[in-house]
Structure formats: C-alpha cells, structure tokens
C-alpha cells in the first residue's frame, strides 16, 4: 500500500530522474532567420542576439555557419542545441571528407540528415530546441530547406523561422521572384529584417547576411539597419485606447 | 593447389605469408559460371552465363538489382552472393532514407570489401566464396568494380570472372580501349560477344544468358529475353556477312522466367534488317 504520492503516478511516461535528462524549455535563444534563393545561390540573414528569457543578454552570437563545401546552416531557438548540432555536422562532414572519393554531401543530403536527427530526438521526448534553415548550391542546383524542432521539414524558394514566418514571409511572397540579383536580394532581406527589428521584441539591431554560391560561403561583418521612430503613431501610442491612462 | 598443413584455418599464415583458405575461396569463384561487366562513361553492362542444371529446373539468379543505380553480377557460391546482395540492398535503402540521395557505388564497394575482410580474420568465420561485379553510378559517372573474397576490390573498364572467363577477358582486352565512348547498344553488343566467348563454341541464345544495363538516366534493369534474342539475331546476321565465326550473339537470357520461354528459340526467325 502506498501512502506517499510518488512522481511516478504524475508522470507515467518516463522514470523519476529522467526529467533532468531531457530538454523541457529553452534558455538562451536566437530569434528569426530569413533566407531566400537568388540568381547565384542562397542569401540568409539573422541577427546576432542571444536572449535569456526577456533579457537581450548576448549580442554577438553567430547564428549562421557554413557546413562542408556546399551548405550554410542558420538556426533559431536554443543556442546550446545549435552548438550540439554543429558538432554532429562536423563529424558527418569529417567522415564524408575521409572517403576522399570525389563524392560529397550536398545541401539536400545535409537537410535530410538533420530532419532525421530532429525527428528522432522529438520521438524520444528530448528535442533539440531549434528551427533550422539549410541552404546551399551544388553543381548549379540551388537548395533551400527548413526543419523544425519536431521534425517538420520542407523546401521552398524562401523560408523563415519563428517570427519571420509571420512578418517576413508575407513580404517575400509579394516581392520575391526568380533570378533576383544579389543587390535586390539583400535589399529584400533587409526589408524583412527591418520589420522584424521593429516588431519582434527579441530582435536586436546587429545582423549578418550570409551568401552561398557555387564558389563558397561568405558571411558579412555585423552591421546595423537604419530605423525611424518618429512616426506620429509611435508618439502617444495609447491615445484613444480603451481603458488606458 | 595442394593440401598442406597451413590450410585448415583462415587465421593461420603459411610460412610463405599466404592465407590458403582465402586463396581456396578465390578458387570457388573460378568454378562458378562466367559473369562479365563492361562500362562506358555513362553506362555499365553486366552479363552472365546462366545454364540450368537440367531441362526440368530453372536458372539460378546471378544478377541482382541493388538499387536504381547499382546492380551486381556474381560468380561462385550463389548463396553467399544472395546474402551479400541483401546486405548491399540494405545499405542503399538506409543511406537513401537518411540522406534522400543514392549511395555512391564507390562507397558501397568499400563497405562490401571491409565486410569480406572481416571473414578473413576471424577463426569462427569463413571467407565468402563469391566474386561480385558491381556496376553503378555516382557523382563521377559510371563505374564497374570487382570485389573478391579476399576483401580486395578493383575498378575496371571491363572484366570477366568465373569459369572460361579467360576467353571473355581476351576479347575484352581487344575492345576495352574503345569502350569509354561506346554507345549503350554497342556496349550491350560487346557484352554479348564476350559472353559468347565464354561459352566457347556453344550456340549463344537468350535462354542461357542474362544481360543487365544501368546508365545515366537509365535505372538498373535486366533486359528481357526477347530483346536479348533480337540483339543476338542481329549480330548473327552481321556475323554471317562479315564471314567466319558465326558467333551466336550472347543473348542475355533472363533468369527463371527465361527458362520457360527458352525452348522456343528454334522457332525464332532472324530479324529483318
């Protein structure tokens, strides 16, 4: 007979100590990543912020990294999980290079590998708390895909994570077209990032834009966007609102 | 090859530095019926001699599709070959599931070779008694590899294994320099000629051989018996026009299914050109 309520009865799916072994909530997080296909390859943008809850704590976090010769990975969500993923991919690329046989993993292969990893972790109730954007060019073919923390994956001409889905994708749906030039692509991404800067509270004004083409990866130096706060609607924002003072 | 006191165990070296069990396994390959392979820059053709034990029985399957872009022809202990084909199919499927991309044939043959090597270094195992001609595509084009029981693998422009393969090899040696730019049909024709050499005088017909093709834009498949017989007939006529050695074009017979249809080859009329 049991007189003491045990943790077991509340949480029958897993053992008593296992909660400390799996991810329950994210701690240091990155916000949106936005990416699009352009004439020569893929352009991707992400700011350099790492938030600790509501505090904008870290301001020099690189959330985009090159993977092998042909791919670029951008991540939002838990930064430590992103670092873990980079370790997995490092090992994957290393073994791929060790074959030394003229074959190499392209962006499609890396994307599918990541999908398998994310989905399998989700099935074990221990997710990697990230939304990933994987872009690349191999043999002239451009590839852009995304994977979420529950393993949802798809490819498209433009993708975004987090708030970017709600604020940037509509802009891209209107203004993206095939064969954008580099300058137009950057302008379009900056437009999206500016909206995110105004409206996403975890965005900071320090971003990088990364480009991947057949030649390789270039990640820009961090820079900031010009913003305008003198709109009359921003002065006295609660004027006329019901129940405010 | 004589029996000696160092050949009982695969893990025993001879004083001359040989592993006799491994060498005996290679002998098993030489006893199997012939298999040949040849490649151009874009296509690879596999062929084999497929003789049934008796009129009542069916052929043994010696060519296996491993994936859309890889196939294998075996010579030797066909049961070992079947098991290795299953391993290869598994590896291809697993790679495709993880990476949504075909497993490069160069990597598959290395995995296969490593698997064979393990059996040469465990006292409780024996080497696989089968030679495999692996035909496949990867990023750098079409490839033909030969995997032997010793765990070695080699890449070839053209090769033949099994009994009476030397005759086929001689033919291929004469032809291999031109193979790289061959068209797909010429490649199949050369395969049939090589099979005919391995038959040494026996009439070549589609019921006693099998031919399979894989290439850029063409998934691995075994040619059906009629197609093969037609090609044989075409060569036959050309052969008569050219003069000596009326060679039966090696018909790539199909396995099993071919056998049932094979008995009608007497009634097949030469194809009109």
Distance CA B221, CA B195 (A): 18
Would the CB atoms of A102 and B106 count as touching at under 8 Å?
A: yes
pLDDT band at A243 (very low <50, low <70, confident <90, very high): confident
Which positions ≥6 away from B96 have C-beta within 8 Å?
B67, B102, B103
Instruction: Let me know: does B206 contact B65? Beta carbons within 8 Å.
Output: no
The encoded tokens of residue B127 equal 């080497």
Instruction: Let me know: does B211 contact B188? Beta carbons within 8 Å.
Output: yes
Distance CA A154, CA A148 (A): 10
Active site residue A23: yes
* pLDDT (0 to 100) of residue A15: 55
pLDDT band at B245 (very low <50, low <70, confident <90, very high): very low
The encoded tokens of residue B154 equal 């080699």
Distance CA B258, CA B212 (A): 14
Q: Where are the alpha helices (DSSP H) in chain B?
A: 20-31, 78-99, 105-118, 165-175, 184-199, 225-242, 257-262
Nearest CA in chain B to A104: B139
Chain B partners within 8 Å of A134 (Cβ) = none
Task: Please tell me the pTM assigned to this model.
Answer: 0.85
Distance CA B68, CA B137 (A): 9
In the predicted structure, residue B262 carries a pLDDT above the cut 80: no
Query: How is A40-59 classified by DSSP, letter by letter?
Result: SEEEEEEE--EEETTEEEES
Reported for B124-129, long-range contacts at CB under 8 A and 24+ positions apart, including other chains, are B125/B10, B126/B10, B126/B21, B126/B25, B127/B10, B127/B21, B127/B22, B127/B25, B128/B25, B128/B77, B128/B80, B128/B83, B128/B84, B129/B25, B129/B28, B129/B29, B129/B76, B129/B77, B129/B80
Q: Is B32 touching A (CB cutoff 8 A)?
A: no
Instruction: Let me know: does B195 contact B66? Beta carbons within 8 Å.
Output: no
Tens digit of pLDDT for each residue in B206-232? 889 999 999 999 999 999 999 999 999
pLDDT band at B238 (very low <50, low <70, confident <90, very high): low
For residue B78, give the nearest of B34, B130, B134 by alpha carbon.
B130
Would the CB atoms of B106 and A116 count as touching at under 8 Å?
A: no
Measured at the alpha carbon of residue A238, what is the angle toward residues A237 and A240, in degrees to the nearest 5? 115
The helix (H) or strand (E) run that includes residue B7 is none
Tens digit of pLDDT for each residue in B33-87? 999 999 999 999 999 999 888 888 888 899 999 999 999 999 999 999 999 999 9
Chain B partners within 8 Å of A106 (Cβ) = 101
Average pLDDT (A51-61) is 96
* pLDDT (0 to 100) of residue B235: 78
Q: Is A155 touching B (CB cutoff 8 A)?
A: no
The encoded tokens of residue A224 equal 């900031």
Percent of chain A surpassing pLDDT 90: 82
Chain A partners within 8 Å of B101 (Cβ) = 106, 108-109, 112
Instruction: Let me know: does B104 contact B177? Beta carbons within 8 Å.
Output: no
Mutate to test the interface with A, among B94, B101, B102 (most CBs of A within 10 A): B101
Distance CA B54, CA B201 (A): 20
């Amino acid at each position: 007979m049991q007189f003491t309520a045990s943790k077991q009865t509340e949480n029958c799916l897993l053992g008593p100590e296992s909660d400390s072994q799996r991810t329950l909530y994210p701690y240091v997080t990155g916000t949106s990543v936005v990416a699009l296909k352009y004439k020569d390859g893929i352009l991707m943008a992400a700011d350099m912020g790492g938030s600790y809850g509501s505090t904008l704590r870290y301001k020099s976090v690189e959330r985009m990294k090159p993977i092998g010769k042909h791919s670029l990975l951008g991540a939002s969500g838990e930064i430590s999980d992103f670092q873990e993923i980079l370790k997995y991919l490092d090992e994957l690329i290393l073994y791929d290079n060790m074959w030394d046989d003229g074959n190499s993993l392209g962006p499609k292969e890396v994307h599918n590998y990541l999908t398998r990893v994310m989905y399998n972790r989700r099935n074990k109730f221990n997710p990697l708390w990230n939304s990933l954007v994987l872009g690349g060019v191999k043999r002239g073919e451009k590839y852009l895909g995304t994977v979420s923390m529950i393993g949802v994956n798809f490819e498209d001409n433009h993708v975004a994570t987090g708030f970017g889905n709600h604020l940037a994708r509509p802009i891209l749906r209107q203004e993206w077209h095939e064969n954008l030039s580099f300058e137009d692509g950057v302008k379009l991404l900056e437009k999206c990032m500016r909206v995110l800067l105004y409206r996403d509270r975890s965005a900071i004004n320090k971003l990088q834009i990364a480009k991947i083409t057949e030649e390789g990866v270039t990640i820009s130096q961090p820079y900031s966007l010009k913003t305008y706060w003198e709109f009359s609607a921003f002065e006295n924002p609660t004027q006329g609102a019901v129940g405010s003072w | 090859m004589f029996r000696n006191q160092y050949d009982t165990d695969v893990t025993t070296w001879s004083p001359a530095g040989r592993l006799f069990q491994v060498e005996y396994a290679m002998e098993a390959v030489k006893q199997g019926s012939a298999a040949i392979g040849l490649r151009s820059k874009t296509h690879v053709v596999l062929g084999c001699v497929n003789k049934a034990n008796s009129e009542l029985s069916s052929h043994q399957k010696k060519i296996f599709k491993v994936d859309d872009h890889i196939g294998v022809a075996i010579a030797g202990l066909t049961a070992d070959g079947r098991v290795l084909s299953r391993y290869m199919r598994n590896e291809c499927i697993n790679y495709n599931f993880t990476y949504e991309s075909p497993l490069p044939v160069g990597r598959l043959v290395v995995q296969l070779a490593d698997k064979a090597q393990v059996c040469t270094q465990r006292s409780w195992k024996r080497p696989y008694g089968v030679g495999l001609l692996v035909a496949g595509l990867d990023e750098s084009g079409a490839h033909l590899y030969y995997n032997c029981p010793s765990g070695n693998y080699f890449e070839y422009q053209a090769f033949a294994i099994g009994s009476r393969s030397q005759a086929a090899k001689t033919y291929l040696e004469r032809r291999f320099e031109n193979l790289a730019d061959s068209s797909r049909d010429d490649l199949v024709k050369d395969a049939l000629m090589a099979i005919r050499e391995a038959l040494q005088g026996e009439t070549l017909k589609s019921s006693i051989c099998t031919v399979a093709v894989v290439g850029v834009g063409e998934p691995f498949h075994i040619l059906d018996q009629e197609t093969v017989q037609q090609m044989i007939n075409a060569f036959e006529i050309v052969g008569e026009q050219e003069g000596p050695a009326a060679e039966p074009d090696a018909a790539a017979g199909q396995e099993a299914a071919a056998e049932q249809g094979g008995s009608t080859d007497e009634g097949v009329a030469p194809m009109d050109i």
